[in-house]
Amino acid sequence: MKSSNSLDAKARQILRRNDRGRYTVPTADLYPHQWNWDSAFAALGLATFDLDRAWTEFETLFGGQWPNGMVPHILFHQRDTDYFPGPDVWGTPGTVPSSGISQPPVAATIARRIWERDPAGYGGRMRALFPKLAAWHRWFMEWRLEDSAVCVTHPWEAGRDNAPDWDDALARINPYDVNGYVRHDTKCVDPEMRPTKLDYDRYIWLVNRGREVNWEENERKRKSDFRIADPTMTFILLRANRDLAEIGRRLGEDVSMLEKWTHTLEIGAETLWNPNLFSYDSKDANSGEWSNCVSNASFLCWYAGIHREEMRRHFDRVTRSVAFGIPSHDPESEKFDPRRYWRGPVWPVINTLAGIGMAEAGLESEASAVREFTSELITRNGFYEYFNPCDGSPAGGGDFTWTAAIWIDWASPSAGDEKWA
| Model pLDDT for residues 117-142, shown as the tens digit of each residue | 998 888 999 999 999 999 999 999 99
In the chain, the amino acid numbered 167 is: D
Decide if pLDDT at 254 tops 70: yes
- What are the tens digits of pLDDT across the range 348-373? 999 999 999 999 999 999 999 999 99
CA distances to 162, 274, 304, 343 from 332, rounded to whole Å, are 18, 18, 26, 12
The answer to whether the predicted template modeling score (pTM) of the entire model surpasses 0.95 is yes
Torsion (CA) 157, 160, 164, 165 in degrees, nearest 10: -50
Using pLDDT thresholds of 50, 70 and 90, give the confidence band for residue 71. Answer: very high
pLDDT grade, residue 2 (50/70/90)?
low
pLDDT for 57? 98
Residue 104's pLDDT band (cuts 50, 70, 90): very high
pLDDT higher at 419 or 258: 258
Q: Where are the alpha helices (DSSP H) in 100-162?
A: 107-115, 123-143, 155-158
Is 385 marked active-site?
yes
Of the pLDDT bands very low, low, confident and very high (cuts 50, 70, 90), residue 190 is confident
Give the separation between CA 236 and CA 220, rounded to whole angstroms.
23
Q: What per-residue confidence (pLDDT) applies to 275?
A: 97
The DSSP annotation for 60-84 comes to HHHTT--TTS---SEE--S--TTSS
Q: Tell me the residue type at 389.
A: P
CA–CA separation, 177 and 190 (whole Å): 26
The answer to whether residue 240 scores a pLDDT higher than 90 is yes
User: For 9-39, how does the pLDDT look when each residue is reduced to its tens digit (9 = 90+)?
Assistant: 999 999 999 999 999 999 988 889 999 999 9
pLDDT exceeds cutoff 60 at 1:
no
Quote the pLDDT of residue 153. 97
- pLDDT tens, residue by residue, 191-218: 887 889 999 999 999 999 999 999 999 9
User: Which pLDDT band holds residue 421 (cuts at 50, 70, 90)?
Assistant: low
Which of the following is catalytic: 165, 243, 385, 399? Answer: 385
Q: What is the mean pLDDT of the chain?
A: 95
pLDDT in tens, 382-392: 999 999 999 99
Catalytic member of 19, 157, 161, 366: 161
**What is the model's pLDDT at position 182?**
87
287-to-121, 168, 225, 358 alpha-carbon distances in Å: 50, 10, 10, 33
Q: Give the pLDDT confidence score for residue 201 in this predicted structure.
A: 95
For 168-179, what is the mean pLDDT?
A: 93
Three-state SS annotation for the chain = CCCHHHHHHHHHHHHHHCECCCCECCECCCECCEEHHHHHHHHHHHCCCCHHHHHHHHHHHHCCCCCCCCCCCEECCCCCCCCCCCHHHHCCCCCCCECCCCCCCCHHHHHHHHHCCCCCCCHHHHHHHHHHHHHHHHHHHHHCEECCEEEECCHHHHCCCCCHHHHHHHHCCCCCCCCCCCCCHHHHCCHHHCCCHHHHHHHHHHHHHHHHCCCCHHHHHHCCCCCEECHHHHHHHHHHHHHHHHHHHHHCCCCHHHHHHHHHHHHHHHCCEECCCCEECCEECCCCCECCCCEHHHHHHCCCCCCCHHHHHHHHHHHHCCCCCCECECCCCCCCCCCCCCCCCECHHHHHHHHHHHHHCCCHHHHHHHHHHHHHHHHHHCCCCEECCCCCCEECCCCCHHHHHHHHHHHCHHHCCCCCC
Model pLDDT, residue 417: 67
pLDDT at 180 over 70: yes
Q: Is 288 helix (H, G, I), strand (E, B) or coil?
A: coil
Residue 80 a catalytic site member = no
Residue 99 has pLDDT above 80, yes or no: yes
With 80 as the cut, is the pLDDT of residue 3 above it?
A: no
The C-alpha atoms of residue 338 and residue 101 are separated, in whole angstroms, by 28
For residue 403, the one-letter residue type is T
Q: Is the pLDDT of residue 188 over 90?
A: no
Dump strand ranges (E) for 197-287. Answer: 228-229, 273-274, 279-280, 283-284
pLDDT digits (tens, 9 = 90+) for 287-341: 999 999 999 999 999 999 999 999 999 999 999 999 999 999 999 999 999 999 9
Please state the rounded mean pLDDT for residues 75-90.
90
For residue 147, pLDDT over 80 is answered with yes
Give residue 267's pLDDT band: very low, low, confident or very high (50, 70, 90): very high
At position 76, the amino acid (one-letter code) is F
